[in-house]
Amino acid sequence: MRDAEDLRQRLESLDPHSVQPGLQRIRAMLEALGSPHLAYPTAVVCGTNGKGSVAAMLAAIGRAAGHRVGLYTSPHLSFLEERFQVDGNPISPMGLDRHLEVVFAAADRLLAEGRVDEFPSFFEILTAAAFRYFAEVRVDLAILEVGLGGRWDATNVTSPRVVVITSIALDHREYLGDDLSSIAAEKAAVVPRAGLAVSAPQDPAALEVLRSHCGEMGATLWESERYPLVDRPGDERLHYSIDCVGRVRTYVGLDLALAGAHQVENARCALLAAEALDRHRLSISSDAIWAGLRTVRWPGRCEWLGEGPPVLLDAAHNSAAATALASYLEELERRGSYDRLHLVFGVLSDKDAGEMTRSLYPLADTLIATEPPSERALPAASLLKTAGLPPSHMSVPDPWSALEQALDGAAPGDLVCVAGSSYLVGALRPGLAG
Residue 282 shares a structural domain with residue 188? yes
Q: Residues 116-129: pLDDT tens digits?
A: 999 999 999 999 99
Rounded-to-10 torsion of CA 321, 326, 329, 331: -110
Q: Is 12 exposed, middle or buried (0-12, 13-18, 19+ CB in 10 A)?
A: exposed
- Residue ranges of alpha helices (H) inside 260-380 are 262-279, 286-295, 319-334, 353-360
**What is the phi/psi pair of residue 339, to 5°?**
-90, -55
Find the domain containing 69 and state its range.
4-295
DSSP 374: S
Q: What is the pLDDT of residue 4?
A: 78
**pLDDT over 70 percentage in the chain:** 98
Q: When comparing pLDDT for 16 and 274, which is higher?
A: 274
As a whole number, mean pLDDT of residues 333-361 equals: 93
Q: Residue 280 — very low, low, confident or very high, per pLDDT cuts 50/70/90?
A: confident
DSSP 362: G
DSSP 60: H
Q: What is the pLDDT of residue 171?
A: 64
Which candidate, 253, 249, 250, places its Cα nearest to that of 232?
Answer: 253
Residue 172 shares a structural domain with residue 236? yes
Q: Residues 228-237: pLDDT tens digits?
A: 999 998 788 9
Q: Rounded to two decimals, what is the model's pTM? A: 0.94
Of 275, 295, 315, the position where a domain reaches its end is 295
Q: Is 430 exposed, middle or buried (0-12, 13-18, 19+ CB in 10 A)?
A: exposed
Q: What is the pLDDT of residue 175?
A: 54
As a whole number, mean pLDDT of residues 400-428 equals: 95
Residue 277 shares a structural domain with residue 339? no
**What is the phi/psi pair of residue 240, to 5°?**
-90, 160
Q: Is the pLDDT of residue 1 over 70?
A: no
Residue 181 shares a structural domain with residue 138? yes
Residue 8 shares a structural domain with residue 150? yes
What's the CA gap between 172 and 317, in Å, rounded?
12
Q: Residues 168-200: pLDDT tens digits?
A: 987 655 556 578 898 999 999 999 999 999 999
What's the CA gap between 290 and 167, in Å, rounded?
23
What's the CA gap between 399 and 371, in Å, rounded?
6
Distances in Å between the Cα of 283 and the Cα atoms of 164, 277, 289 are 18, 7, 11
Residue 236 shares a structural domain with residue 106? yes
What's the CA gap between 97 and 127, in Å, rounded?
14
Question: Angle, to 10 degrees, between the axis of helix 122-136 and the axis of helix 93-112?
Answer: 120
Radius of gyration of the chain (CA): 21
Q: What is the pLDDT of residue 6?
A: 87
Residue 106 shares a structural domain with residue 246? yes
Residue 291 shares a structural domain with residue 342? no
What's the CA gap between 309 and 305, in Å, rounded?
9
Residue 308 shares a structural domain with residue 425? yes
| Strand, coil or helix: 354 | helix
Q: Which residues contact 307 (CB under 8 A, 6 or more apart)?
A: none
Of 295, 326, 342, the position where a domain reaches its end is 295
Identity of the residue numbered 412: P
Residue 112 shares a structural domain with residue 234? yes
Mean residue pLDDT across the chain:
93
As a whole number, mean pLDDT of residues 91-95 equals: 97
Give the count of domains, the chain: 2
Q: What is the pLDDT of residue 174?
A: 56
Which candidate, 36, 32, 88, places its Cα nearest to that of 60?
Answer: 88
Residue 291 shares a structural domain with residue 407? no
What's the CA gap between 396 and 379, in Å, rounded?
10
CA 27, 32, 33, 36 torsion: positive or negative? Answer: positive
Residue 122 shares a structural domain with residue 211? yes
Count of H-run helices and E-run strands, the chain: 14, 17
Of 266, 295, 324, the position where a domain reaches its end is 295
Instruction: List the CATH number of the domain containing 117.
Output: 3.40.1190.10
DSSP 174: H
Instruction: List the CATH number of the domain containing 369.
Output: 3.90.190.20
